[in-house]
């Protein structure tokens, strides 16, 4: 018997007479919900370790380890409090295994799952009353607040954020935002030249539970991509607090000015790296916001951090909920993938992803597949580590597969930007982000990629496609210093940008935020436009073939 299961059995209290709760994999806290209010000795919890869920997509090994190690440690922490723990391992849908648990223990109660995919799986138990759902208390805002900011689409984060700031009185001086404005985003766009030094990343103690999870991931989930690093894996409650303490000491003061910067020297710079634990609720958003407000920080840094959590994080989950995961849009109902996509894994690995054909509930699918710009090219293998020849792309891809992490600008302005310029399928791009990042769940990854990164739902939640040429990447990073391409003369990303605007000019010409860009496009000579299109074809065909771009081969 493994150390974990031995520890659970050693701490196993009498289960009779308990009120039983189901705790999803991303609600690992006893500080909110029914688990926070009952006497531990009157409560029991059901936790499900599910290799079927892990196998639905080629999730990064580090993400699997993060979820499994945190769930196992949470189980031990609850057992130590006196809570009865029923820890179930399965290779079947959640509805199936919980149905069996209910037949033994009686009805279960749970906070409403954050992920639509899990809610769809559990629907049969919810419908017949075997699983009672109560409100998810981890969110900071309500549906009513979202609708009060704007009841119908298009939705905009800035108006939602202003409404919530006023409603919560966070960073407000009466009716006036502290510092005279709601956002200091325009002041937080400095490139980073090495000073102040980026903090060293924290490490966490290795224990038997983490070691066993590491062995499990490298064994049972050996086909999954990515590098597993247990030394950087926060799994215990103490680890979570240590990471947040490091973030407060080392990151937050300088977060604001450099939050958009990118560097070869640091994948995260002054980003806190707490998103994975926030989404598991090992750190509570409300506590993080409250404690950040108590710090003596520059206002631009404090506001920028608060906006990430109170603003964007809450906004995207409301949009995802309001559109049923982008299945219901003002323009109609887009196609829905029948099964989970692998984000291009099969093309890279040369073999299909799925190991088996375990039956899934009828309600489970692969997600909505809108594509406002009719983009449908497959993911190139460069997103899985095949060198592209573009230093910015290869650097960020390497960092992601090395750590399952990247901050929001590398995600948006390198990975999503280049994929959008290449007309990569938004659904495939979304699936890639879903499997590659430790903090990715449907409610956050689909709005960020379908809604923002790829402009797949048009202006539903953003005002324009977030695309750029080489100039932005050069301005905000040092990637170009070690690239074979010159950002001002030979880098193909600039040609990709102009070719993208030209191909999609019918859809984009009336966009007010692209007025200047489209005016410049109209002034672009026919020779340059032909060169842009040739560059697009060259890059697309080269990367699709798994080859590396070189200045000597450019058209």
Provide the 10 A C-beta neighbour count for residue 139.
17
Largest CA distance in the chain: 80
Q: What number of other Cβ atoms are within 10 A of residue 250's Cβ?
A: 17
| pLDDT grade for 46, boundaries at 50, 70 and 90 | very high
Number of other CB atoms surrounding residue 478 within 10 Å: 20
Q: For the segment 377-435, what is each residue's pLDDT rounded down to a tens digit?
A: 999 999 999 999 999 999 999 999 999 999 999 999 999 999 999 999 999 999 999 99
At a CB cut-off of 8 Å and minimum separation 6, what does 461 contact?
153, 154, 155, 156, 157, 315, 316, 319, 447, 451, 452
When pLDDT is cut at 50, 70 and 90, the band that residue 447 belongs to is very high
How many Cα atoms occupy the beta-carbon half-sphere of 387 within 13 Å? 7
The mean of the pLDDT values for the chain is 96
For the entire predicted model, the pTM comes to 0.97
- Tell whether the model's pLDDT for residue 357 goes beyond 70: no
281-339 tens-digit pLDDT: 999 999 999 999 999 999 999 999 999 999 999 999 999 999 999 999 999 999 999 99
Distance CA 478, CA 391 (A): 10
Question: What is the rounded distance in angstroms from the CA atom of residue 550 to the CA atom of residue 11?
Answer: 61
Burial class of residue 36 in the structure, from the number of CB atoms within 10 Å of its CB (0-12 exposed, 13-18 middle, 19+ buried)? exposed
Q: What is the pLDDT of residues 115-125, one digit of tens each?
A: 999 999 999 99
pLDDT, position 358: 65
Is residue 1 pLDDT above 70, yes or no?
no
Render pLDDT for 72-96 as a digit per residue (tens, 0 to 9).
Answer: 999 999 999 999 999 999 999 999 9
pLDDT bin (cut points 50, 70, 90) of residue 355 is low
């Amino acid at each position: 018997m493994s150390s974990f299961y031995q520890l659970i059995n050693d701490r196993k209290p009498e289960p009779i007479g308990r009120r039983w709760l189901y705790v999803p994999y991303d609600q690992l806290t006893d500080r909110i919900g029914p688990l926070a209010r009952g006497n531990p000795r009157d409560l029991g919890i059901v936790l499900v370790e599910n290799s079927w869920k892990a196998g639905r997509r080629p999730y990064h090994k580090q993400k699997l380890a993060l979820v499994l190690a945190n769930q196992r440690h949470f189980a031990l922490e609850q057992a130590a409090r006196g809570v009865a723990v029923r820890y179930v391992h399965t290779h079947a849908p959640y509805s199936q295994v919980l149905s069996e648990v209910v037949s033994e223990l009686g009805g279960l109660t749970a906070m409403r799952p954050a992920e639509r995919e899990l809610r769809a799986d559990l629907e049969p138990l919810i419908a017949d009353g075997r699983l009672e759902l109560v409100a998810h208390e981890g969110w900071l805002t309500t549906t009513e607040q979202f609708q009060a900011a704007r009841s119908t689409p298009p939705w905009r984060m800035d108006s939602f954020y202003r409404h919530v700031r006023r409603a919560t009185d966070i960073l407000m001086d009466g009716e006036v935002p502290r510092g005279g404005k709601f956002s200091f985003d325009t002041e937080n766009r400095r490139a980073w030249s090495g000073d102040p030094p980026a903090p060293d990343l924290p490490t966490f103690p290795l224990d038997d539970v983490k070691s066993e999870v590491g062995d499990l991931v490298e064994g049972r989930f050996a086909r999954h991509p990515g590098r597993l690093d247990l030394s950087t894996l926060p799994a215990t409650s103490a680890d979570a607090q240590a990471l947040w303490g490091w973030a407060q000491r080392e990151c937050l003061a300088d977060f604001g000015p450099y939050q958009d910067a990118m560097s070869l020297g640091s994948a995260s710079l002054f980003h806190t790296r707490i998103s994975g634990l926030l989404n598991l609720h090992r750190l509570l958003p409300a506590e993080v916001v409250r404690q950040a407000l108590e710090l003596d920080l520059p206002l631009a840094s404090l506001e920028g951090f608060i906006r990430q959590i109170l603003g964007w994080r809450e906004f995207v989950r409301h949009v995802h909920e309001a559109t049923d995961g982008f299945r219901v849009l003002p323009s109609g109902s887009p196609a829905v993938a029948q099964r989970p996509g692998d984000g291009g894994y099969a093309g890279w690995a040369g073999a299909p992803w799925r190991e088996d054909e375990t039956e899934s509930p009828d309600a489970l699918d692969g997600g909505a597949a809108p594509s406002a710009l009719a983009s449908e090219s497959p993911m190139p293998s460069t997103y899985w580590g095949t060198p592209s020849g573009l230093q910015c792309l290869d650097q960020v891809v390497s960092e992601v597969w090395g750590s399952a992490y990247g901050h929001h600008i590398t995600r948006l302005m390198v990975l999503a930007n280049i994929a959008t310029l290449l007309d990569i399928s938004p659904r495939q791009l979304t699936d890639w982000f879903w499997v590659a990042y430790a903090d990715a769940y449907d409610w956050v990854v689909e709005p960020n990629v379908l809604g923002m990164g790829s402009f797949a739902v048009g202006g539903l939640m953003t005002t324009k496609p977030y695309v750029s040429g080489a100039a932005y990447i050069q301005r905000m990073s040092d990637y170009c210093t070690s690239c074979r391409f010159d950002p001002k003369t030979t880098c193909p990303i600039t040609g990709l940008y102009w070719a993208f605007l030209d191909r999609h000019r019918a859809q984009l010409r009336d966009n007010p935020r692209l007025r200047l860009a489209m005016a410049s496009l109209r002034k672009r000579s026919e020779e340059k436009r032909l060169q842009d299109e040739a560059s697009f074809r060259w890059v697309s065909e080269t990367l699709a073939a798994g080859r590396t771009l070189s200045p000597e081969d450019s058209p």
